[in-house]
Amino acid sequence: MQNTELSKQRIIQLYIQLVTQQELRESKLTTRMAEEMQKLESEMGMKLNLTLSEIHFIACIGDHGPINVTTISEKVNLTKGSITRISKKLWKLDLIKRQQLVDNKKEVYYRLTAKGQKLYKIHHQMHQGIEQRFMGFLDKYTPEQLAFSRELLEDLLDWDF
């Protein structure tokens, strides 16, 4: 029984280390993205000042466009009001364009402009690189270990302090 308690304590310590390490890695990713954004800004001749939500909005359109407000809201987990606010900013920066259907003027669909496509490609390449490295990292585990890991992570997502 004592071994189980020690294992649980060690898991808690490792979890705290993981969260702390994730903050550091997220900071590195933000720095890398900022460097790419600076290159893009100098190429475009304008300052973008985009948040992560705005970048994910662009990624969503790049992945699923043309796409409407409701679907974007569901996919990026933001309110429709936030989507409308973000879309206005991105439209002013000429990163997205709006379209309405001929038979339905109320519903708006979004597509990426050429500038938006550039930003989307940068973001997509960064995500692909991270995903490939992570998949390589997971190669060392057995199917049973992967199944347990998936279950543990799903439980952690549902767990609340």
Ordered by start, the domain boundaries in the chain are 47-158
pLDDT value of position 112: 96
Model confidence band, residue 62 (pLDDT cutoffs 50, 70, 90): very high
pLDDT value of position 1: 56
Give the CATH fold of the 47-158 domain: Arc Repressor Mutant, subunit A (1.10.10)
CB count in 10 Å sphere of residue 23: 9
How far is Cα 80 from Cα 77, in angstroms, rounded to an integer? 9
What residues contact residue 58 under an 8 Å CB cut-off, 6+ apart?
Answer: 50, 90, 95, 96, 112, 116, 119, 120, 123
Nearest partner of 109 among 58, 55, 70, judged by Cα: 70
One-letter-per-residue 3-state SS of 9-55: HHHHHHHHHHHHHHHHHHHHHHHHHHHHHHHHHHHHCCCCCCCHHHH
Q: Report whether pLDDT(65) > 70.
A: yes
Give the full edge-to-edge strand order of the sheet including 96-101: 67-68, 104-112, 96-101
pLDDT tens digit sequence for 72-130: 999 998 999 999 999 999 999 999 999 987 777 788 899 999 989 988 988 888 889 88
pLDDT value of position 113: 95
Is the pTM here over 0.75, yes or no? no
Q: Report whether pLDDT(25) > 80.
A: no
